[in-house]
Structure 1
Amino acid sequence: MKRTQRKASRGEGLYIVLVSVHGLIRGSDLELGRDADTGGQIKYVVELARALGAHPEVGRVDLLTRRIDDQRVDPAYAQAEETLAEGVRVIRLDCGPKRYLRKERLWPHLDCFADNAIKHIRHVGLRPDVVHGHYADAGYAAVRIANLLGAPLVQTGHSLGRVKQQRLMEKGASERDIESRYNMAQRIDAEEETLLNAYRVIASTQQEVESQYALYDHYRPERMEVIPPGTDLERFHPPPSRWRQPPIAAELKRFLRHPQRPIVMALSRPDERKNIPTLVRAFAEHGGLRELANLVIVAGNRDSVRSLDRGARKVLTEVFMLIDDYDLHGQVAYPKHHAADDVPDLYRLVTHTRGVFVNPALTEPFGLTLIEAGASGAPFVATADGGPKDILRHCQNGVLVDPLDSKAMSEAIYQILADDKRWKALSTAGLKGVRKHYSWRGHADTYVRKIKPLGAEARRVRRGQRKLSGKLVRADRALITDIDNTLLGDRQGLKRLLNELRSRGSGIAFGIATGRRLDSAVQILKEWGVPTPDLMITSVGAEIHYAAEMTEDPGWMTHINYRWRPEALREAILELPGIDLQPEEDQRRHKISFFVDPTYAPGLREIERLLRQQDLQANLIYSHDRFLDLLPLRASKGFAVRYFADKWGIELERVLVAGDSGNDEDMLRGRTLGVVVGNHAPELERLRGYKRVHFAKANYAGGIVEALEHYDFFNECRAPDQ
């Protein structure tokens, strides 16, 4: 039965949104190993998207990634959309500068990416059945996408920050150097936040769950699902009996004195975590191995080592120095270039020469290369960490070693090569095991079976457009401002702003977003002569009301009630020194407010960690160095602004938000137009340099007036590129 016929009988099917932000993603000729960001994860998400799209219960798959317009990379990465298969698309969204950026530099732009993703999904017109993030950066964006849409969040970490940090420190790297190179604290925070919000976490192995995810405060075993990754068995298979050696074989022969010898091959990015130098040392220091085999290192593509990033340059420089130190010339091949189509042939060359594939990585959550090698008939030696343990259990086609023990590594390789009968047994076992346990079709079947129940778990009141008359229906843009020390504080500046809105703002929705409760906000606005706003976001985003009657938005209240346990949160925070409850009138159904004495109270990170350890979920907002508000995960000024814009059909590029303190930060980031008034608190200085955040010279409402002119808000409403 054709796929289109199947779809007709089951409606639209599941709508799955995959998010993978960094690296270079396209449907063919994947540039695996080009750099540290274009590795196995890229291949994983592309093949996962195709496999899910072929499933009879799936109607549409969108793989959201970053659009890149840079002459240094292929023009294909600048295309807004690419079809991978029927119903499966790569959607490329703007995310910061157009040029290619390594993943550590993407963090300031991920809010913008999330806003663009929501815009795309709104244009599609379907509510996702799941939003699935891949890696920490995509998890950060996926939390924001899923929370606003009320969709279930699924996460795959691929590589985890705490594990990488631990391994690098074991190799002697300092915590300071790790932080400067990898933004590790921000990455780990994003991973914790994603685990907190995720309905399910998909891991490749049970060991990954128990030994890696267990290092996190928000580790919850009941939310973990182990679904081994698949491989394309049509591409990866043993060489036929009369196999003509491929072009890549000639490239390897250039390096080797005895090219007919068995190949010991490593295939990975030149990344420190991949531990390639240890393999070189293992090969070089074992006399029998050097007499018996050749070493082949396929470490990405390069025109020049000097053109690579610092990490890759360091790894390859060490490899070349070891080759020279041990005089391995003529015994080791290290080609500068290989195409995606060469990869299956490289595995087949290992099998054809009765060699061994080696994955010496310090940590290996997946082990896709081991599965590909097994499907091609090559035995393996790999790190005794993560995925290789499960692969060996299923396939029985290799040996696991401590990746830092070069002697154990070399001896394991030698024992396989020196015993022809054992080599044959391992090769045969691998072929059978991979076909049984590691197909993408089987992965997709399990995936769909696991995610289908999440829809009922996440179901909520739909946010249909209310048929109301008045300004909100007609508005095509909105001005939303904090009250204290932003809108109010200077009567002359306020008068100018109100006059501007009266004379030129007929199509503009005017709203406030404040930490005050509703009655307090209404009272202070009245005292200052501010007309009743069209929108009132109060209690730091915990409540939304509309128009003169202050009609509450019930959909928002239902939406943010997710995982909200106010009594347990209140009890946990009050056990800490230097923190007291604010008066009863400042407490709301979805907001718990505290006074903080920073002299005695623990820092915000310590408070967050305490709550994680007690499985308590909240959005913590700290402002003016004395106020702490706890809100539901889905509640904040930023989320409320986006909810409002989405509900009333106002483009975020036409929403001007104004603030002065830390509790305004998340509505200032992203695709909104932002203004930080001149009298702002120091904590907002970290937003300086964002193109869509204007730091006004004027204070209070005068700063808002300045921003109206800066963005030409009443006319073209200019939205600078992020």
Structure 2
Amino acid sequence: MDHIIFRNWEEKTYDVVVIGEILIDMISEEYTEDFNCDIYKKYFGGSPANIAMNTKNLGLNSSIISCVGNDGLGVFLLEQMKQRGIDISNVQISENPTSMVLLTKSQGSPIPIFYRGADYQIHLNETIEEIIKKTKIIHFSTWPISKEPSRSAIEKIIEIAKANNTLVAFDPNYHPALWEKEYDSIQYVKEIIKKVDIIKPSEDDARRLFGEGTIEEYLNKYINLGPKLVVMTLGKEGLIASDGKEYIRLSTMADRVADATGAGDAFYSGFYAGIIKGFQIKKAIELGNATSAYKLKYTGAVVDLPKIEEIQRLYNLWGDKTMHVIFLNPQGNFDKKDSYWTEHPDFGGQLVYVKEIACAMAKQGHRVDILTRQIIDEDWPEFADEFDQYDGVENLRIIRIPAGQKEFLQKELLWEYLSEWVDNIINFYQEEGDMPDFVTTHYGDGGIAGAIMYQRTGIPFSFTAHSLGAQKMDKLGVDITNMEEMEKKYHFTKRIMAERIAMANSAINFVSTSQERDEQYTHLTYKGAGDMDNPQKFRVVAPGANTEVFSATKGNKEDKVVAQFIKEMFQRDLDKDRQELPAIIAASRLDPKKNHVGLVKAFAKNKELQQKANLVITLRGIENAFEDYSFVKSHEKEILDGIMEIIDEYQLYGKVSMFSINSQGQLAACYRQLASYNSIFCLTAVHEPFGLAPIEAMSCGLPAVVTKYGGPSEVLYEDGEEYGVLIDPFNSQDIAKGILKVLENYSFYKKQGIQRVKSKYTWDATAANYVKAIEEILENKKDDRNMEIHPYFLDLSNENTIGLDWLEKVYLGGEVNVGV
């Protein structure tokens, strides 16, 4: 069912906008079915207004489009909404009296008498049109479509919403008393249903619309009209939902019914909150069901709803499906400031991947911990505390567990401490009295840690390699003559052994692209470990962009500062007559495999490219590379030396700008600013396992020219459709040709890039795919101990070392039964 939800909402301001009646509910003090009572109490009412208030209580950004009378009751309604923080700037004022409904207090569907006045006097204007374009979900009922002028306004609003990827939800609460007798109201309601995405009729609504019938007959009649999802509430019998292919049936969760007024609105509110939070459809429906049950305990259409987490606790939602998932990532580190990201090889895209999936999974209701290594080192003070968190993200902890020496260690030196690290992790959770349900592991070091933890606890784990050691050996040209030298620097024996054990013993291996699976895991080195004959062993789950940060239209506090900074950098580095030209931006960390030198060389050798654009290289922590970079690491200095040699040789001064960008927020702001220059993102890496950086750039409006080697080939091209340009990073002419192609077709590639990210590459979708796979594993647990763990990782005595002869035989000969 999840296909019905639009996920490309990052440019939209409002979560939910409701359109329709705000009115007074006069509800009897006594239970009666015939209005035979003397005392009625005034309550705030109107289904759309109820939803606006409820969704606001649940943490959504809600607004309402409505109309009230210029009278005391209208003032009362407006004050009620203002007190609850609802945007009332689009509530119109009419000389007609405020509408009213007389209701008997009821434990079933309440009986209404309608006194209508101002509610149908809604007029469309330009402000409302713009609001609809910026809204994720619009909701309306049959009230505004029952009379003009609001009927025409709703028809136009539906058109605008459908044209702007706004989800259209309709409450088909048909009641003949709302309509002129001569109007074919039933047929008109059916025509409206054909145009919307979601409806939630009650059984009474269906009976009034279709006559007598069974629940199944009603459901099929609604489905045949064409909405993407029908949720039919059945009172004490719960609800049934269907998209025409799948069915969901839920019992009521209400244990006490004080008043049924507004129960359906509470359902809508919880359901919409679930959708906005990124829940799968079934989970969102379950949240709506629980929210309705909570409301039923109280009199009145609107009650002070608790937070989603409290509703979840009260009704034990997803008790066996809300999981405790931990992410094992011993290398690098995590903190709320994303310290050192892109500055150090251990703080690259892998950390972004782990953070974003963990955050998205936590927002979907799961308890999530990121486990990394505690570092007590004056040069790395950010990572000394045991606990940390990301501001604004509930259910997520960063936990730093000590292992080995206290100081920072680069990833190549962590292998011998991983067994101790796992023991300390197990002790930590035993002391808490709550072991995790599932472990996700990242890179070879996380993978072997997961395998050790699985051996000691039986908790299943997944393995996400990010990149595999054999591919790095290939790129470095490792052979029998230099293997010993490469081993001293990169510790390939330990990495390859760890990867083989991790992929063999994991419950599932997550890969970003099918190419990663088909090319990397089939490498001779992993023969007998990758289990390529078992399709259930792999799951292709594409990473995404954090569209709250990387957006073409949604700025942040950095935008103005960064825009001025870029202007100043261009004035410093570029010739005066070139400062408004498009930029070719390289934003990767300084690493040989990112091939910055190849891009600079392509720019240097192409005069046409130099005439049309400048070259921009963002650095982290290097304020002015033209003056001094002597303080950087040796491999970074070597890259910058190469760049400066080309600039000198081809006299590129005044055509190249290099400056420091130090955070994700600044980078996104930089992308947006450079997009206003009609700039291009370029990544000429010799191989890119997936290519998250291009996705983030594309999301900000920068068309992408990217290496054809690795995952980007699937991101930028699918089924004959281009979403960017793929180039050969070893061919200067091909790089220049690709950049020129985008410059000449800029609008096309910019639009293609933005749409590609919106449709496929968001972290909510990535996390949902992870969760789905994990749930399947936990429902069908099996023994995945397919390969013994090499004793080196368990006992560091000399006789347990992993020899170069083993690596030689596995890497060069593909021998399976060597060692482990």
TM-score normalised according to structure 1 size: 0.62
Gaps of 5+ in 2: 1-269, 271-306, 789-803
The aligned residue for residue 246 of structure 1 is: 563
Distance across 2 between alignment mates of 1:310 and 1:99: 21
Report deviation, 1:365: 1.2
The aligned residue for residue 493 of structure 2 is: 185
The aligned residue for residue 400 of structure 1 is: 726
Report deviation, 1:563: 4.1
Report deviation, 1:562: 4.2
Distance across 2 between alignment mates of 1:251 and 1:98: 42
What is the identity percentage for the equivalent residue pairs of Structure 1 and Structure 2?
30
**Residue of 768, 781, 784 corresponding to 1:445:** 768
- 1:136 equivalenced with 2:444 (yes/no): yes
Report deviation, 1:9: 2.0
DSSP 3-state at the match of 1:189: helix
Aligned residue type for 1:326: Y
The aligned residue for residue 607 of structure 2 is: 287
The one-character-per-residue Cα deviations of 1:95-139 (angstroms, maximum 9, x if unpaired) are 322222221122222222222222222223233222111111111
Question: Structure 2 matches for 1:485-524, cutoff 5 A?
Answer: none
The aligned residue for residue 735 of structure 2 is: 409
The aligned residue for residue 541 of structure 2 is: 227
Distance across 2 between alignment mates of 1:72 and 1:65: 18
Does the 8 A contact of 2:371 with 2:399 survive in 1?
yes
Distance across 2 between alignment mates of 1:562 and 1:181: 31
The aligned residue for residue 105 of structure 1 is: 413
The aligned residue for residue 324 of structure 1 is: 648
Distance across 2 between alignment mates of 1:311 and 1:172: 24
Report deviation, 1:344: 0.2
- 1:69 equivalenced with 2:376 (yes/no): yes
Report deviation, 1:606: 8.1
Identify if the C-alpha distance between structure 1 residues 325 and 176 changes in structure 2 by more than 3 Å, giving closer, same or farther. farther
The one-character-per-residue Cα deviations of 1:550-590 (angstroms, maximum 9, x if unpaired) are xxxxxxxxxxx94489xxxxxxxxxxxxxxxxxxxxxxxxx
Distance across 1 between alignment mates of 2:813 and 2:599: 43
Identify if the C-alpha distance between structure 1 residues 3 and 24 changes in structure 2 by more than 3 Å, giving closer, same or farther. same
Report deviation, 1:333: 1.4
DSSP 3-state at the match of 2:441: strand
The one-character-per-residue Cα deviations of 1:141-197 (angstroms, maximum 9, x if unpaired) are 121112211011201111211111111229999544433322222211211111111
Report deviation, 1:41: 0.9
Question: Structure 2 matches for 1:115-514, cutoff 5 A?
Answer: 115-169=423-477, 174-215=482-523, 216-217=526-527, 218-221=529-532, 222=535, 223-239=537-553, 246-253=563-570, 254-257=572-575, 258-302=578-622, 305-393=629-717, 396-417=722-743, 419=744, 422-458=745-781
Report deviation, 1:457: 4.1
DSSP 3-state at the match of 1:325: helix
Report deviation, 1:423: 0.9
Does the 8 A contact of 1:263 with 1:349 survive in 2?
no
DSSP 3-state at the match of 1:158: coil
The aligned residue for residue 68 of structure 2 is: none
Distance across 1 between alignment mates of 2:813 and 2:780: 23
Does the 8 A contact of 2:343 with 2:620 survive in 1?
yes
Report deviation, 1:269: 1.2
Structure with higher RCO (Cα < 8 A, 6+ apart): 1
Aligned length: 476
The aligned residue for residue 800 of structure 2 is: none
Identify if the C-alpha distance between structure 1 residues 562 and 233 changes in structure 2 by more than 3 Å, giving closer, same or farther. closer
Distance across 2 between alignment mates of 1:611 and 1:327: 48
Identify if the C-alpha distance between structure 1 residues 114 and 610 changes in structure 2 by more than 3 Å, giving closer, same or farther. farther
Does the 8 A contact of 1:169 with 1:175 survive in 2?
no
Does the 8 A contact of 1:64 with 1:90 survive in 2?
yes
Does the 8 A contact of 2:512 with 2:543 survive in 1?
yes
Distance across 2 between alignment mates of 1:133 and 1:306: 37
The aligned residue for residue 326 of structure 2 is: 17
Q: Larger deviation: 187-196 or 245-254?
A: 245-254
Does the 8 A contact of 1:239 with 1:351 survive in 2?
no
Does the 8 A contact of 1:358 with 1:381 survive in 2?
yes
Gaps of 5+ in 1: 461-560, 566-601, 621-722
The one-character-per-residue Cα deviations of 1:174-232 (angstroms, maximum 9, x if unpaired) are 54443332222221121111111111110111111111121122122321110000111
Distance across 2 between alignment mates of 1:282 and 1:564: 47
Does the 8 A contact of 1:27 with 1:46 survive in 2?
no
Aligned residue type for 2:776: P
- 1:26 equivalenced with 2:335 (yes/no): yes
Identify if the C-alpha distance between structure 1 residues 339 and 446 changes in structure 2 by more than 3 Å, giving closer, same or farther. closer
Does the 8 A contact of 2:505 with 2:787 survive in 1?
no
Does the 8 A contact of 1:375 with 1:434 survive in 2?
yes
The aligned residue for residue 3 of structure 1 is: 308
Report deviation, 1:267: 0.9
Distance across 2 between alignment mates of 1:299 and 1:213: 33
Does the 8 A contact of 1:30 with 1:43 survive in 2?
no
Q: Larger deviation: 122-131 or 226-235?
A: 122-131
DSSP 3-state at the match of 1:101: coil
The one-character-per-residue Cα deviations of 1:596-655 (angstroms, maximum 9, x if unpaired) are xxxxxx9766898999966x8x985xxxxxxxxxxxxxxxxxxxxxxxxxxxxxxxxxxx
Aligned residue type for 1:295: L
Aligned residue type for 1:359: L
Identify if the C-alpha distance between structure 1 residues 311 and 176 changes in structure 2 by more than 3 Å, giving closer, same or farther. farther
Distance across 1 between alignment mates of 2:812 and 2:734: 42
Aligned residue type for 2:732: S
Bigger CA radius of gyration: 2
Does the 8 A contact of 2:622 with 2:659 survive in 1?
no
- 1:79 equivalenced with 2:385 (yes/no): yes
Report deviation, 1:302: 4.1
